[in-house]
């Protein structure tokens, strides 16, 4: 059996982290929760990570800055942002950093789970080429 | 002989075939300034008088009627006419005088000596009369000019005598005081200031000490009790000998301006609130985010626990039924359900989720409270209050928008109470804090560093000092003098109204205090608000 996917979640608010852990408890991920970008970078250096879900406005490095550095260290890790400031980040910047999902706070549990499932699904070839998912069912960014 | 000093213009009216000696030669003795011109006929003389300022006409009394026609045409309002005639008889001279001649000269032997003397005398007399006319006309013009200005002045103008009795008023003054000019004349002005001790009315101070005021604010009360806020300037009035006659006061009704001021203040506050809204929305968003997720999860936990509870019910029923096999089966089911649900974890995490959600909702309640306090309209009168409390509440509102970039160091001193308009003060504090944050953001935003804002209060000079210091980008020396000017801004279009600091300055001034900025660009910037203790805002207001 394949190992459980590792999800790194980053937010300067402990309560957000514990609520996220609660939401994703039954999703079968190995969740690593840290409260700063600096701690997240340490985790990235120490162990494999399949996906990163980070807050944007944090003391020190912002979420986008963290993801930009994560892209250098772990280019394969899926990069996702969870923030209340979705409108403030230029779309080009999101593309530049290769961010594949933008989760708005407060988040919808079902949509969050769907987003992560889609992001962490085994890299199956895009069968038929067309994306049949309902665009409103998750937070994924589509071009 | 005496000569005509300035340029003079003389017309010699002469018929072509005159038998008399030409007066031109005699008139040349008046000097090079005398322009002499020979003309023929009354019409030509008249025309020349209209074109130029002619000082004298010398006309020959010939055999025809030419000379009389000339007198008729010129004499009533024109320059003086000297009639030269051959006849020594008084009759001829009288006839000329009757027609308006200024003088008569006989063309005799002494003619070349007499004519210049007579001419000079006439010219001087004519000029003196003309100068006086001009002076009188200028005085009349000036009077009506002044009158026009005073009557049409947008501002009210009052002149009072040494006892403060109204000597003169213009229409705006009549409108503001609510009485006609006739009703005002001679009345003392004191009844319009019933609340103010006589010695403190600005005009009274001008009368007593000669003190001049420029645009100070005051309030007058009309006979019907309506208070009118006014801006007044006053100065003593002297006659040309320097004797004090009274005082002149220029004032205008500030009712609309006050209203506008209040609107600008409110608008500025609203703009600041707009700026805040994003930060506050974020701050509410975070607790909302986890409360929302927690509620969802707690309902899942409840479903899980119900499933276990159902098994407990089944087990109780089996125990009541007394069938040991059934009891064992139900017991095993309960154990299985408990394991699947992970009851221990669910129970403890349920409690944790509730606790965290409670903290979150408490945070939201706090934010909403602060914000509601902030959007309140201010009280009409200053209240004695603790400035630290307002500072703390304002810092609480703006903190969420800056906490990712800023370390806030607070040091509140033990302060005397200050008479103030709380909302206005909070607006000042908020502007200073937001500016400090924006200055830090401009310097280190996106670099991953953090800046520091120090917030300090201390008793100072009988009042309180509030010091806001930041490690932001700073203010260039050439801008430091202009930052309190209305509409001066270095922020990007749409980022600032340019009114923030000028509003702060006005508010602090209204409190009788001072606002000073110092900056060492790139190092630190300090804004110091000083407010007088006690109820100074009332006195300054």
Distances in whole angstroms, Cα of residue B470 to Cα of each of B274, B399, B517? 23, 14, 12
Give A15's contacts in chain B (Cβ within 8 Å). 286-287, 290, 356, 359-360
Cβ atoms < 10 Å from Cβ of B418: 26
pLDDT of the residue at B212: 92
Q: Considering CB atoms only, which of B285, B296, B359 is closest to A105?
A: B285
Phi and psi angles of residue B490, each rounded to the nearest 5 degrees, phi first: -110, 5
Report helix, strand or coil for B35: strand
B273/B281 Cα distance (integer angstroms): 11
- C-beta atoms of B293 and A84 within 8 A: no
Q: For chains A and B, what is the number of CB pairs under 8 angstroms?
A: 72
DSSP structural state of residue B230: E
The predicted pLDDT at position B495 comes to 55
User: Which residues fall within 8 angstroms of residue B108, CB to CB, at 6 or more apart?
Assistant: B88
What are the CA-CA distances from residue B532 to residues B245, B387, B460, B508, B511 (Å)? 39, 12, 9, 10, 8
Residues found in chain A: 143
Q: Above pLDDT 90, what percent of chain A? A: 53
CB atoms within 10 A of CB B77: 7
DSSP state string for B446-511: TTT--EEEEEEEEEETTEEEEEEEE-SS---HHHHTTTTSTT---SPTTT--S-HHHHHHHHHHHT
Please indicate if any CB of chain B lies within 8 Å of the CB of A15.
Answer: yes
Q: Are B531 and B463 in contact (CB under 8 A)?
A: yes
With contact defined as beta carbons under 8 Å apart, do B404 and A57 qualify? yes
- Helices B66-74/B42-51 angle, 10° precision: 30
The ipTM of this complex is 0.83
Which residues are within 8 A (CB) of A130 and not within 5 positions of it... i.e. 6 or more apart?
none
The CA distance from A116 to A138, in Å, is 9
**pLDDT beneath 50: ranges in chain A:** 124-131, 143
User: Which of B9, B51, B48 lies closest to B27, judged by CA?
Assistant: B9
Q: Which residues 281-300 of B have a C-beta within 8 angstroms of A?
A: 281-282, 285-294, 296-297
Q: Look at B403 and A59 and tell me if their CB atoms are within 8 Å.
A: yes
Within 8 A by CB and 6+ apart from B38, the residues are B11, B12, B13, B14, B24
- pLDDT score for B266: 72
What's the rounded Cα separation, in Å, for the pair B82 and B54?
13
- b/e sequence B49-75, b meaning 16+ C-beta within 10 Å: beeeebbbbbbbbbeeebbbbbbebbb
For the question of whether the overall pTM of this predicted structure is more than 0.80, the answer is: no
What would the two tokens of residue B350 be? Answer: 């349920």
H/E element, B399? helix B387-402
CA A70/CA A45 separation, integer angstroms: 9
Q: What's the per-residue H, E or C state across A76-139?
A: CCEEEEEECCHHHCCHHHHHHHCCCEEEECCCCHHHHHHHHHHHHCCCCCCCCCCCCCCCCCCC
Q: Quick one: pLDDT at residue B496?
A: 56
The shortest C-alpha distance from A100 to chain B (Å) reads: 21
pLDDT (0 to 100) of residue B113: 86
When computed from its CA atoms, the radius of gyration of chain A, rounded to whole angstroms, is 14
What percentage of chain A's residues is helix, strand, coil (to nearest 5)? Answer: 40, 15, 45
Nearest CA in chain B to A37: B448
pLDDT in tens, chain B (541 residues): 444 456 888 998 887 777 777 888 888 888 888 888 888 888 888 888 888 888 899 888 876 677 878 888 887 778 899 888 877 777 778 888 888 888 888 888 788 888 888 888 988 888 888 888 888 999 999 888 888 888 888 889 999 999 999 999 999 999 999 889 899 999 999 999 988 888 888 999 999 998 999 888 888 998 888 889 898 999 999 988 889 999 999 999 988 888 887 777 777 767 666 666 766 777 788 889 999 999 999 999 999 999 999 999 999 999 999 899 999 999 999 999 999 999 999 999 999 999 999 999 988 888 787 777 666 666 677 888 899 988 998 888 888 778 888 999 999 999 999 988 888 888 889 889 988 998 998 888 777 788 999 999 999 988 999 999 999 998 888 888 778 776 666 665 555 555 678 888 888 988 889 999 999 988 899 999 999 987 655 444 4
- What pLDDT, on a 0 to 100 scale, did the predictor assign at position A123? 54
Query: Alpha helices of B322-385 — where are they, by DSSP H?
Result: 324-341, 343-375
B490 and B527 in contact (C-beta within 8 Å)? no
State how far the Cα of B292 lies from the Cα of B290, in Å rounded to an integer: 5
Alpha-carbon span B20 to B84, nearest angstrom:
9
Other CB atoms within 10 A of residue B309 CB: 13
Residues with Cβ < 8 Å from B446, sequence gap 6 or more? A62, A65
CA distance B192 to B411: 48
**Per-residue model confidence as pLDDT tens digits over A109-131:** 899 999 999 988 765 444 444 44
**pLDDT of B4:** 46
Nearest to B471 by CA among B449, B452, B498: B452
Query: Which DSSP category does A140 fall into?
Result: B
Q: Which of B290, B352, B446 sits opposite A16 (nearest CB)?
A: B290
pLDDT of residue B541: 42
Is B282 within 8 Å of A62 when comparing Cβ atoms? no
Please, are residues B458 and B465 in contact by the beta-carbon 8 Å criterion? yes
User: What CA–CA distance (Å, rounded) separates B218 from B196?
Assistant: 10
B404/A contact by beta carbon, under 8 A: yes
């Amino acid at each position: 059996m394949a190992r459980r996917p590792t999800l790194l979640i980053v937010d300067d608010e402990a309560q957000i982290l514990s609520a996220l852990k609660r939401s994703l408890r039954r999703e079968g991920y190995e969740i690593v929760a840290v409260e700063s970008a600096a701690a997240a970078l340490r985790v990235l250096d120490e162990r494999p990570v399949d996906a990163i879900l980070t807050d944007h406005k944090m003391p020190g490095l912002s979420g986008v800055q963290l993801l930009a550095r994560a892209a250098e260290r772990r280019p394969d890790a899926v990069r996702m942002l969870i923030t209340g400031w979705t409108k403030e980040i230029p779309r080009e910047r999101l593309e530049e950093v290769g961010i594949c999902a933008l989760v708005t706070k407060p988040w919808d549990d079902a949509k969050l789970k769907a987003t992560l499932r889609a992001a962490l699904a085994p890299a199956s070839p895009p069968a038929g080429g067309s994306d049949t998912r309902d665009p409103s069912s998750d937070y994924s960014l589509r071009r | 002989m005496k000569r005509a000093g300035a340029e003079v213009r003389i017309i010699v009216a002469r018929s072509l075939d005159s038998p008399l000696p030409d007066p031109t030669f005699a008139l040349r003795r008046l000097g090079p300034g005398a322009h002499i011109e020979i003309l023929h006929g009354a019409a030509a003389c008249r025309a020349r008088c209209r074109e130029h300022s002619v000082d004298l006409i010398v006309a020959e009394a010939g055999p025809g009627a030419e000379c009389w026609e000339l007198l008729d045409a010129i004499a009533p309002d024109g320059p003086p006419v000297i009639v030269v005639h051959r006849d020594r008889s008084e009759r001829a001279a009288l006839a000329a005088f009757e027609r308006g001649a200024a003088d008569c000269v006989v063309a005799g032997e002494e003619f070349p000596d007499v004519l210049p003397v007579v001419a000079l005398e006439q010219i001087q007399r004519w000029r003196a009369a003309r100068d006086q006319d001009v002076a009188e006309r200028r005085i009349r013009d000036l009077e009506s000019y002044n009158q026009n200005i005073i009557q049409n002045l947008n501002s009210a103008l009052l002149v009072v005598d040494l006892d403060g009795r109204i000597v003169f008023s213009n229409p705006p003054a009549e409108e503001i005081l609510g009485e006609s000019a006739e009703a005002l004349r001679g009345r003392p002005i004191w009844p319009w200031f019933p609340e103010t001790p006589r010695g403190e009315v600005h005009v009274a101070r001008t009368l007593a000490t000669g003190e001049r005021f420029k645009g100070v604010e005051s309030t007058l009360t009309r006979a019907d009790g309506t208070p009118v806020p006014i801006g007044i300037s006053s100065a003593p009035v002297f006659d040309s000998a320097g004797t004090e006659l009274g005082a002149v006061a220029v004032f205008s009704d500030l009712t609309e301006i006050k209203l506008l001021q209040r609107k600008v203040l409110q608008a500025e506050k609203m703009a600041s609130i707009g700026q805040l809204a994003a930060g506050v929305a974020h701050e509410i968003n975070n607790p909302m985010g986890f409360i929302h997720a927690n509620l969802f999860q707690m309902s899942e936990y409840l479903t899980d626990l119900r499933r276990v509870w159902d098994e407990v019910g089944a087990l109780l029923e089996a125990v009541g039924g007394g069938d040991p096999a059934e009891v064992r089966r139900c017991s095993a089911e309960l154990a299985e359900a408990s394991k699947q649900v992970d009851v221990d974890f669910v129970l403890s995490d349920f409690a944790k989720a509730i606790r965290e959600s409670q903290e979150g909702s408490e945070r939201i309640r706090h934010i909403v409270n602060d914000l509601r306090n902030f959007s309140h309209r201010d009280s009409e009168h200053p209240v004695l209050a603790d400035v630290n409390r307002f500072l703390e509440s304002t810092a609480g509102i703006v903190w969420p928008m800056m906490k990712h970039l800023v370390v806030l160091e607070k040091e509140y001193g033990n302060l005397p109470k200050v008479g103030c308009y709380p909302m206005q003060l909070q607006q000042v504090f908020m502007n200073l804090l937001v500016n400090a944050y924006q200055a830090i953001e401009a310097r280190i935003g996106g670099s991953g560093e953090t800046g520091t804002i120090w917030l300090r209060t201390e008793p100072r000079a009988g009042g309180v000092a509030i010091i806001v210091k930041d490690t932001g980008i700073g203010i260039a020396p050439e801008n430091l003098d202009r930052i309190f000017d209305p509409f001066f801004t270095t922020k990007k279009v749409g980022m600032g109204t340019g009114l923030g600091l000028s509003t702060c300055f006005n508010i602090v001034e209204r409190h009788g205090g001072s606002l000073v900025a110092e900056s060492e660009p790139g190092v630190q910037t300090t804004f110091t608000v000083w407010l007088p203790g006690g109820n100074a805002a009332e006195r300054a207001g």
